[in-house]
Amino acid sequence: MLQRAAFLPLLVFSAALSSAAFAGQPLTLKADSALVEFKAVGRPSLLKIPGKSTRLEVKLEREDSGALASALKGSFEFPLDSLETGIGLRDSHMKEKYLETAKFPTAKLEITDATVPAAFFTQETGEQTITVKGNLTLHGVTKPVEVQTRLVREGKGFTSESAFKIMLTEYGISIPKYLGIVIAEDVDVKIRFTAE
């Protein structure tokens, strides 16, 4: 059963891979390409609260696991203090009261299983959807997660895109409430970046 992840991540874990990563070297992200987004919905008003950040630390290597596939190993770490919703007071409440970033400054995903067909690494263009499994730590809680990730080959680099839902209470995060509006427990998360 799919375990839904928690606030960002995320993240994420989608791994855009570079030719450097093929040799076991650290992945190099293209400048200004990382984007982590979330969208929360308030009820009963259906108020939509978007948030984003452009900060994501990726440590990733490729390990050959046979002639037909390669395994990806590594981690993704995200500083929760970098999230912005466009309203300063709301940002403060989110970070101080709910995410408690002073105690839990980052979200981190350790990859436990991610396999990519070997042919993907040899073509100039192409697209592949993989399932990334790992352990996500958020708000002091670690849980296993599975995320569908779309990899797109672009010359010598790759773009990685992931979209998933998180359940706030699974990670001990209180449900935000304000003036009669209650934020839904599940939050949509998207992560995108390009590696050169």
State mean pLDDT over 143-160. 88
Closest to 7 (Cα-Cα) out of 194, 183, 151, 160: 183
Residue 7 maps to a domain: no
CATH number of the domain that residue 37 is part of? 2.40.128.110
Question: Domain residues for 111?
Answer: 19-195
Q: Is the residue at 68 inside a domain?
A: yes
Cα four-point dihedral sign 144, 146, 147, 153 = positive
The answer to whether residue 80 is domain-embedded is yes
100-137: pLDDT as tens digits:
999 999 999 899 999 988 888 778 889 999 999 999 99
Q: pLDDT averaged over the chain?
A: 82
pTM of the model: 0.79
Q: Residue 113 CB: number of other CB atoms within 10 A?
A: 13
Alpha helices (runs of H) in the chain, residue ranges in sequence order: 19-22, 88-93
pLDDT of residue 175: 93
For 3, other C-beta atoms within 10 Å of its C-beta total 15
Please say whether the beta carbons of 191 and 9 come within 8 A. Answer: yes
By mean pLDDT, which of 21-35, 61-75, 146-160 is the weakest? 21-35
In a domain, residue 165? The reply is yes
Q: What is the pLDDT of residue 80?
A: 96
Whether residue 1 lies inside any domain: the answer is no
Segment 145-168 shows an average pLDDT of: 89
Report if residue 3 sits inside a domain: no
Cα(130)–Cα(132) distance, integer angstroms:
6
Residue 75 lies in a domain: yes
Specify the number of domains making up the chain.
1
Please report whether residue 182 resides in a domain. yes
Q: Kind of pairing, strands 48-53 and 57-64?
A: unpaired
